[in-house]
Amino acid sequence: MVLAGFLPAMIAYRRPRLRTALRPTRWAPVFVYLLVLATVVCGPAVADTGMPVACGQLPRPQDSIWLINTRHTGCSFSVGSAGSAGAGAAAGLRYYRFEPPDGTGLAHWRPTDGAAFLRDQMPGGTTLFFVHGNWVSQAEAYQRGLAFYLALVQHAEADRPLRFVTWSWPTARLRGLVKDARIKAQRTELAGYQLAWLVDQMDAEGPIAMVGFSFGARVITGALHVLGGGQLDQMASPVRPATDRGKIRTVLMTAALDDDWLLPGHGHGFALSQVDRMLLLNNSSDPALKWYHMIDRCRRPSALGRWGIAWPGMLGADAQKVDQCDVCCLLGREHSFQSYLNCPDLMRQTWSYLSSDPLLVGNLPGRTDRSVE
């Protein structure tokens, strides 16, 4: 009798269902509009050549828009000292800057280099990295990043410039669902490693924010883990051992990583040390994350983006940095980035969480405070 009552109680503690105060929207879906607009901006298929494309004017001329492509790296590079590891990370990156229409009415994704990216500092502005999820081709990465940018800046302050960066990593669809998921889970480590290296090269005083969907969230937490002094796949750390780097604001959407990895001593246990605050937008009805345990048939882990952090009491002081919302009532039974773009409330919440003063964020709709006693 005691055991019968104990097990449900433990399960309820480990998997608290997080209510959301986000108001369901009755707006018509806007993703199709945004994707069409992004397609007009970047063209139906953008080659890595700086080719001109038909384009309308972007809504915020003060912003700079970038795409950084890691797909040239391959699946790995040799592990050596921190210096050689950093050189390997740098060699695999390709930089593209979006240039608005010229006199001919054509815009360009212009190839450039890392030095130009690092020089592109905007006083008072934020650098926002967006990391897409699985099954995204290179051409789709341009479009998806711009669609997210257009949805997000509708809620941005006009006087605050933004450097928006799409982080493109190799996620083209492979044959076999389980095989595909396992391979992509492995690739997130190298993508996160490279992201950590680039952030370490940037101005330590410039505000940085990150948004990731699905496996993209796993890339981000991997990068934060490396920045905090951790290692991924036994690769030598490419970051400097001590910096005055500012903390990073992060939003993880339906995160495809193990639900205990943010705990101290676990997979990405150093990640929260680099975070100012982190918002987890979870979906307890997500049909894809229901099968997340298939990634590792021995451990059979659960996904962070389904129920949230396992054993949040183990976070200690870092628990105050984390907010979680179960947005299943807004997203339904879908594992789709489109669903996020379709919801203006979620886009507003995302921008506010990344940009607002902490005192203001506490009054935003959608905030869910959790007890971690």
What is the model's pLDDT at position 266?
Answer: 94
Q: Are the CB atoms for 107 and 101 separated by under 8 Å? A: yes
> Cα(65)–Cα(92) distance, rounded to whole angstroms?
20
Q: Give the CATH superfamily of 30-361.
A: Alpha/Beta hydrolase fold, catalytic domain (3.40.50.1820)
Residue range 142-151: mean pLDDT, rounded: 93
pLDDT in tens, 5-16: 433 333 343 444
Q: Which long-range contacts (CB under 8 A, 24 or more apart) does 177-185 make?
A: 178/294, 178/295, 180/134, 181/134, 181/294, 181/295, 182/295, 184/134, 184/215, 185/215, 185/218, 185/256, 185/295
Residue 130: beta bridge partners? 166, 211
**Residue appearing with tokens 């926002």:** 128
Pick the residue with more confidence: 238 or 196?
196
Which amino acid appears at position 359 of this protein? L
Is it the case that residue 244 has pLDDT exceeding 80?
no
What is the model's pLDDT at position 52? Answer: 52
- DSSP percent split of the chain into helix, strand, coil, nearest 5: 40, 15, 45
Nearest Cα residue to 313 out of 264, 367, 251: 264
- Which residue has better confidence, 372 or 252? 252
Residue 307 pLDDT exceeds 60: yes
- pLDDT surpassing 60 at residue 45: no
pLDDT at 326: 94
pLDDT of residue 86: 62
What is the amino acid identity at position 307? W
Give the per-residue pLDDT at 243. 64
Q: What is the mean pLDDT of residues 165-192?
A: 92
Tell me if 304 sits within 8 A of 259, measured CB to CB.
Answer: yes
Residues 257/220, Cβ–Cβ less than 8 Å: no
**Model confidence at 365, in pLDDT bands (50, 70, 90)?**
very low
8 HSE (CA, 13 A, CB side): 4
User: Side-chain half-sphere of 22: how many Cα atoms within 13 Å?
Assistant: 27
Query: What share of the chain has pLDDT > 70, as a percent?
Result: 74
pLDDT per residue over 210-236, tens digit each? 999 999 999 999 999 999 999 887 777
Quick: pLDDT tens for 68-114.
999 877 655 544 444 555 666 777 899 999 987 777 767 788 999 99
pLDDT, residue 373, reads: 33
The pLDDT value given to residue 59: 80
Of 372, 317, 369, whose CA–CA distance to 20 is shortest? 369
Q: Is 105 left (phi over 0), alpha (psi -120 to 50) or beta?
A: left
Q: What is the pLDDT of residue 242?
A: 58
Q: Which has the higher per-residue pLDDT, 49 or 259?
A: 259
The answer to whether the beta carbons of residues 149 and 155 sit under 8 Å apart is: no
* Range of weakest confidence among 144-158, 213-227, 287-301, 345-359: 345-359
Cα separation, 63 vs 161, in Å, equals 5
**Which residues, in sequence order, are CB contacts of 13 under 8 Å at separation 6+?**
none
Tell me: pLDDT of 362 over 70.
no
